[in-house]
Amino acid sequence: MKDNIIYAFNPRFGKKLKDKVEGKNPLFLCVIATTETAKIPGISAAGQNPDLIDYTPSADVELLYYSHCRCFHGIPVTPDGVPTPALITLSALKLSLIPFLVVNGGLKVDPKTPYIDVGGSPGNDITTGHAVKDPGEIIERAKLVGKNLAENHDYLIIGESIPGGTTTALAVMLALGIDAKGKVSSSMSVNPHSLKTETANEGLRSMGIAFGELQDDPVKAIESVGDPMQAATVGLVLGVDGVVPIFLAGGTQMAAVAALLYSMSPKSLQQAGIATTRWIVEDKTSDIRSIVHRSSGIPVIAANLNFAYSKHRGLKAYEQGVVKEGVGAGGAALAAILKSRNKITPIVLERKIEEEYTQLVEGNK
Amino acid sequence: MKDNIIYAFNPRFGKKLKDKVEGKNPLFLCVIATTETAKIPGISAAGQNPDLIDYTPSADVELLYYSHCRCFHGIPVTPDGVPTPALITLSALKLSLIPFLVVNGGLKVDPKTPYIDVGGSPGNDITTGHAVKDPGEIIERAKLVGKNLAENHDYLIIGESIPGGTTTALAVMLALGIDAKGKVSSSMSVNPHSLKTETANEGLRSMGIAFGELQDDPVKAIESVGDPMQAATVGLVLGVDGVVPIFLAGGTQMAAVAALLYSMSPKSLQQAGIATTRWIVEDKTSDIRSIVHRSSGIPVIAANLNFAYSKHRGLKAYEQGVVKEGVGAGGAALAAILKSRNKITPIVLERKIEEEYTQLVEGNK
Comparing CA positions, the residue from A69, A306, A325, A333 lying closest to residue A188 is A325
pLDDT at B246 over 90: yes
pLDDT of residue B197: 97
User: In B, which residues are within 8 Å of A117 by CB distance?
Assistant: 104, 110, 114-117
B153/A152 Cβ within 8 A: yes
A8-26: average pLDDT: 98
- Report percent pLDDT > 90 for chain B: 91
Over residues B148-168, the mean pLDDT reads 97
| Cross-chain residue pair B117–A101, CB shorter than 8 Å | no
Query: What is d(CA A234, CA A228) in angstroms, rounded to the nearest whole number?
Result: 10
How far is CA A209 from its chain centroid?
26
pLDDT of residue B328: 98
Contacting residues for A363 by C-beta, under 8 A, at least 6 apart? none
- Band (A365; pLDDT cuts 50, 70, 90): very low
A50-72 residue pLDDT tens: 778 999 999 999 999 999 999 98
Q: Which residue has the higher pLDDT, B284 or B2?
A: B284
Q: Chains A and B: how many Cβ contacts under 8 Å?
A: 73
Interface test with A, best of B32, B115, B139, B155 (most A CBs within 10 A): B115
Contact: B141, A27; criterion CB under 8 Å: no
Q: Is the predicted pLDDT of residue A270 greater than 90, yes or no?
A: yes
pLDDT of residue A81: 85
Distance in Å, alpha carbon of B310 to nearest chain A alpha carbon? 31
Those residues with Cβ within 8 angstroms of residue B272's Cβ, 6 or more apart along the chain or in another chain: B237, B242, B245, B246, B247, B248, B258, B261, B298
The distance of B78 to chain A (nearest Cα, Å) reads 28
Q: What is the pLDDT of residues A171-185, one digit of tens each?
A: 999 999 999 999 999
| Predicted confidence (pLDDT) per residue in A100-126, tens digit | 999 999 999 999 999 999 999 999 999
Regarding an ipTM greater than 0.90, the answer is yes
Q: CA B365, CA B359: separation in Å to the nearest integer?
A: 5
Mean per-residue pLDDT, B330-359: 97
- CB contacts under 8 A, B 76-115 vs A, are 97-101, 104, 110, 112-115
**Average pLDDT over every residue of A269-289:** 98
Cβ distance of B116 and A116 shorter than 8 Å: yes
Looking at residue B217, its pLDDT comes to: 98
Which of B259, B249, B264 lies closest to B143, judged by CA?
B264
| Residues B100, A152: C-beta atoms closer than 8 Å | no
Q: Band the pLDDT of B237: cuts 50, 70, 90.
A: very high
A104/B151 Cβ within 8 A: no
Q: Inter-chain contact A149–B99, Cβ cutoff 8 Å?
A: yes
Q: How far is residue A234's CA from residue A256's CA, in Å, rounded to a whole number?
A: 10
* C-alpha–C-alpha distance, residues B103 and B327, integer Å: 12
Model pLDDT, residue A364: 42
Q: Across the interface, do A114 and B113 touch by the CB < 8 Å criterion?
A: no
Axis crossing angle, helix A218-225 with helix A228-240, rounded to the nearest 10: 150
- B364 has a chain A CB within 8 A of its CB: no
Mean pLDDT taken over chain A: 95
Which residue type, as a one-letter code, is found at position B266? P
Q: What is the mean pLDDT of residues B197-216?
A: 98
Q: How confident is the model at residue B364 (pLDDT cuts 50, 70, 90)?
A: very low
Give SS3 for B254. helix
Mean pLDDT of chain B: 95
Of the candidates B74, B120, B92, the residue with the CA atom closest to the CA atom of residue B235:
B120
pLDDT of residue B365: 42
Give chain B's length. Answer: 365
Q: What is the mean pLDDT of residues B112-137?
A: 98
B42-46, B162-166, B172-176: which range is least confident on average? B42-46
pLDDT in tens, A30-40: 999 999 999 99
Q: What was the pLDDT predicted at B51?
A: 76
pLDDT for the residue A47: 52
What CA–CA distance (Å, rounded) separates B245 from B158?
A: 11
Q: Which of A114, A116, A117 sits opposite B142 (nearest CB)?
A: A114
Distance (Å) from the alpha carbon of A137 to chain B's nearest alpha carbon: 9
Mean of pLDDT values over A294-314: 96
Least confident of A345-349, B45-49, B117-121: B45-49
Q: Is A145 on the interface with B (CB under 8 A)?
A: yes
Q: Do B115 and A114 touch (CB under 8 A)?
A: no
> Using 50, 70 and 90 to split pLDDT, how confident is the model at A73?
confident
Q: Is the pLDDT score of A313 beyond 90?
A: yes
Chain A CB contacts of B148 under 8 Å are 99-101
**pLDDT for residue B113 is more than 80:** yes
Burial of A289 (0-12, 13-18, 19+ CB in 10 A): middle
Q: Tell whether the model's pLDDT for residue A136 goes beyond 90.
A: yes
Question: What length is written for chain A?
Answer: 365
> What is the arithmetic mean of pLDDT over B197-211?
97
| Across B77-93, average pLDDT | 93
Confidence band for A78, pLDDT divided at 50, 70 and 90: confident
Question: Which of B261, B218, B259, B254 lies closest to B239 in space, CA to CA?
Answer: B261
> Phi, psi at residue A163, to the nearest 5°?
-60, 140
